[in-house]
Amino acid sequence: MNKNIQIFCATILLLLSACTKELSTNTNTFTPYQGNAFNDTTWIKNITGISPITALADTLAQNTLFSDSIDLWKDKAIVFGDSLEVDFKGGSCTNNAGALQDGKARIDIIRLQKKGDFIKAYRPNTSYMYLLETGSAFFIRITKNGSELALAPGASIKIKYADIEEAEDNMQVFYGKESLPFPISTFDPANTWVRSLDTSWIKTWSTQTNSGIKKGYELEAKSFRWISAHRALDPNPPKTNIYAILPPNFTNKNTAVFAVFDHNRTVIDMHGEYASRSFTTSNIPLKTKLLLVSISKFGPDLYLGTRLVNDVGTMVNYSFTPEKKSLAQILAFLNSL
C-alpha cells in the first residue's frame, strides 16, 4: 500500500513539473523566474529615474530632430520641404540674465504630427484634466555654447506648416509645461499643455498646388520649447473613468498605457493607479471608440499590447495581455497610428 502511495505521489509531481514547463512558455500566464525582471510584480507610489519606464521612454523617442545654424542678429526663414517653415527674427534671443545675444547659435526642431508621435515623445493631448485635439506640435530650442536661450519680451517665432489633416478654424496656441527637462528626460508624467494667454484662433491658410489645395496653420509662439496647436474637446457629453488591466508583472515601473481616440487626433496617458494595480484615466466621453496601447520594458525585452474599445460605457474595465515585440515592430506600429 505504501509503495502504491509513493508511486502515485511521484506521478503527480511529474505532472506538475510538466505543467510548469508548459505554462512558462505561455505569454498569458505569469511564471516566476528567479533574478529575472519579468518576476517583479510590485508597484511603487512614486516613479523614480531608475525605473524601467524612464528607459522605455528614452528608447521610444525616435522623433526626427532638425538642426541648423543661425546668426542670432539676422532674420532667417528655416524651410523644410514644402510643409514647414520656421521664421526667426534677429535680435530676439536672450540668455538667462535677460541680455540680448548675438553670434552663431544652433536651432533644434522636433515635429509631432501623428498620434504615434505623441506617444513616442510622451506628450499626451491633455491640459491638466481636460482633453484636447491636436493640430500638430513642435519642440524648438536655440542654444549657444551649450546653454539654452529664451525669446526676449515681446518677441516671437512664427511656424507655418501644412498639417496632415484638414486645418480647423478654432485651434489655439498651447505651450508645454514640464517637470523634467526634455531631452535630458523623455519621461515626464507631470507634463501638460497650457493654453497661451493670447487665446485668439490660430491663422489658417490654403494654397493651390499641382496635387490640389494644400491647407495648414500659421502660429506665432512667444516662447521656445514645446509649442502646439490644440483645441478642447466638447466638455458637455457624459464621461467616465476607464481602466486597463494587465497581467500582474506589467506594473507602473515598466509599462506605459495610452488611450488613442479613433475619431479625434487625441492621445491620453493612462497613469498607473497604485491602489487598484491598474492603469486609468478620467473624463472619457461615453460611446467613444478608442484603442488602448501598452508598451513595456523588461531588461532588454519590449512588449506591446492593444485592446480595441468600440463603445466606452458598455464596460469600463479592459483586460489584455501584451506580446513580446522588437523595437522596430513597436515603432512601425506607432508610426501607423
pLDDT digits (tens, 9 = 90+) for 185-221: 888 888 999 999 999 999 999 887 777 788 899 999 9
Please say if the pLDDT value at position 131 is more than 70: yes
Please say if the pLDDT value at position 40 is more than 70: yes
pLDDT for the residue 236: 86
pLDDT for the residue 49: 67
Q: Is 252 left (phi over 0), alpha (psi -120 to 50) or beta?
A: alpha
Please say if the pLDDT value at position 110 is more than 80: yes
**Between these two residues, 235 and 13, which has the higher pLDDT value?**
235
Strand-pairing partners, residue 133, are 231
Contact 204, 216 (CB under 8 A): yes
Contact 27, 323 (CB under 8 A): yes
DSSP one-letter code for 160: E
Contact 265, 233 (CB under 8 A): no
Percent of the chain at pLDDT exceeding 90 = 69
Establish whether the linkage from the previous residue to 153 is cis, with ω within 30° of 0: no
**Between these two residues, 259 and 16, which has the higher pLDDT value?**
259
**Burial of residue 63 (number of CB atoms within 10 Å: 0-12, 13-18, 19+):** middle
pLDDT for the residue 64: 67
Which residue type is seen at 256? A
What is the average per-residue pLDDT within 166-183? 92
pLDDT for the residue 116: 97
Please say if the pLDDT value at position 9 is more than 90: no
What is the average per-residue pLDDT within 11-15? 37
**Cell 518677441, located at residue:** 155
Q: Where are the alpha helices (DSSP H) in the chain?
A: 2-23, 52-60, 115-120, 327-335
pLDDT for the residue 180: 84
Torsion of CA 118, 271, 320, 264, to 10 degrees: -40
* Confidence band, pLDDT 50/70/90 cuts, at residue 47: confident
* Confidence band, pLDDT 50/70/90 cuts, at residue 36: confident
Contact 59, 297 (CB under 8 A): yes
Count CB-CB contacts under 10 A for residue 113: 20
pLDDT for the residue 87: 95
Domains of the chain and CATH, by start: 52-58+235-335 (2.60.40), 62-232 (2.60.220)
Q: What average pLDDT is seen over the chain?
A: 87
Closest CA to 171 of 136, 142, 120: 136
pLDDT for the residue 235: 83
Please give the sequence-ordered ranges of beta strands (E in DSSP) within 65-171, or none if there are none. Answer: 65-71, 76-80, 84-88, 93-94, 104-112, 126-127, 130-144, 147-148, 150-151, 157-162
pLDDT for the residue 157: 96
CA distance 209 to 190: 42
Q: Which three cell numbers stand for residue 73?
A: 542678429
pLDDT for the residue 65: 74
* Confidence band, pLDDT 50/70/90 cuts, at residue 17: very low
What is the average per-residue pLDDT within 209-238? 91
* Confidence band, pLDDT 50/70/90 cuts, at residue 45: confident
Please say if the pLDDT value at position 5 is more than 50: no
Please say if the pLDDT value at position 263 is more than 80: yes
Distances (CA, A) of 9 to 18, 20, 23, 25, 217: 14, 17, 21, 25, 74
pLDDT for the residue 28: 37
pLDDT for the residue 30: 34
